[in-house]
């Protein structure tokens, strides 16, 4: 029980830190060319996101 509680605290803390510094984290990820390419590929593999982005590009 204690181990589960500790794990939940760690995950919640990590999520809070990532949310609080989300823009700095995103800037850090997009500063590295390989990570930026991977992030764009992963984003464009989601059909809904791809449809929305492509439709907005050609308006």
Higher pLDDT residue, 43 or 56?
Answer: 43
**Beta-carbon contacts of residue 29 (< 8 Å; ≥ 6 apart):** 35, 36, 39
Distance separating alpha carbons of residues 55 and 45, to the nearest angstrom: 15
Residue-level pLDDT at 30: 87
pTM, 2 dp? 0.54
Nearest alpha carbon to residue 44 among 54, 59, 58, 56? 54
* Average pLDDT taken over every residue of the chain: 89
Judged by DSSP in three states, 32 sits in: coil
Would you list the domain boundaries of the chain?
2-57
- At 33, the pLDDT band (50, 70, 90 cuts) reads very high
**pLDDT above 90 covers what percent of the chain?**
53
Residue-level pLDDT at 34: 92
What does the chain come to in residues?
A: 59
């Amino acid at each position: 029980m204690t181990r589960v509680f500790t794990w939940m605290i760690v995950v919640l803390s990590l999520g809070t830190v990532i949310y609080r510094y989300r823009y700095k984290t995103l800037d850090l990820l997009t500063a590295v060319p390989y990570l930026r390419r991977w992030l764009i590929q992963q984003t464009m593999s989601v059909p809904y996101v791809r449809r929305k982005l492509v439709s907005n590009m050609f308006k």
